[in-house]
């Protein structure tokens, strides 16, 4: 498993390639934790190059989701290949997380939320 991290405004995008299983999920968990500990609250996970995810991977995202929700943060997913989407959907995680077809769409969604807040603030 390899993780590429980039910034898109105040959103952190993680591109994960390879397998997210019991053995690689620890690396993913520590990467996510260190970014969250630096105060980042918005994440997009791009799964385009992910070929497998096990329940250990789901657990990492559930943990991040619970932590981020407490601090009004959010994690969104994009570019899920069918086998990955199947694992998410089977555990019912598609009902907890926002899953977008593209990274751009997920980022725009964050942007729209931000714009919505601004409009409310200045209304």
Partner 1 sequence: MKSKRGLKNNGMPDTIQKLGKLFRLFEKPGEPSFTVNELELAQEIQANLLPKSFPLNQKIEVGALYKASKYIGGDFYDVIQIDDRKIAFVIGDVSGKSLHAALFMAQCLTLLKVFIKMDLNILKIIEKTNQMLFELVKTDMFATVFIGIYDTHYHQLSYVNAGHNPPLLLRTSVKIPAKDHHPLTMLTAEGIALNCIANMILEEKRIQLYEGDILLLYTDGLIDASNEFEKEFGEAKLKGLITELRDLPAQQMTQKILEHIEGYSKASKTTNDDMAALVIKFKEEK
Residues 87-116 as b or e (16 or more Cβ within 10 Å = b): bbeeeebeebbebbeebeebbebbeeeeee
Show contacts with partner 1 in window 54-73 (CB under 8 A). Answer: 54-56, 58-60, 62-64, 66
Q: Which stretch binds partner 1 (CB under 8 A): 35-43, 73-81, 92-100, 108-116?
A: 92-100
Question: What would the two tokens of residue 47 be?
Answer: 């799964």
Cβ neighbour number for residue 83 with a 10 Å cutoff: 11
Residue whose CB is less far from partner 1, 72 or 95: 95
Name which of 48 and 54 has its Cβ closer to partner 1: 54
Burial of 122 (0-12, 13-18, 19+ CB in 10 A): exposed
Structure tokens at 48: 């385009």
- Determine the interface stretch with partner 1 among 8-16, 48-56, 74-82, 105-113 (rule: CB under 8 A): 48-56
Could you say whether residue 23 binds partner 1 (CB under 8 A)? Answer: yes
Query: Which residues of the shown chain bind partner 1 in the complex (CB under 8 A)?
Result: 19, 21-24, 26-27, 54-56, 58-60, 62-64, 66, 90-93, 95-96
């Amino acid at each position: 498993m390899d993780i590429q991290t980039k910034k898109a405004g105040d959103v952190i995008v993680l591109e994960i390639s390879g397998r997210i299983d019991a053995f690689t999920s620890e690396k993913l968990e520590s990467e996510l934790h260190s970014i969250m500990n630096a105060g980042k609250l918005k994440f997009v996970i791009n799964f385009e190059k992910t070929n497998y995810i096990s329940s250990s991977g789901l657990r990492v995202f559930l943990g991040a989701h619970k932590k981020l929700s407490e601090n009004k943060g959010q994690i969104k997913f994009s570019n899920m290949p069918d086998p990955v989407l199947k694992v998410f959907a089977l555990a019912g995680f598609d009902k907890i997380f926002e899953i977008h077809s593209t990274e751009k769409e997920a980022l725009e969604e964050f942007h729209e939320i931000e714009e919505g807040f601004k409009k409310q603030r200045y209304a």
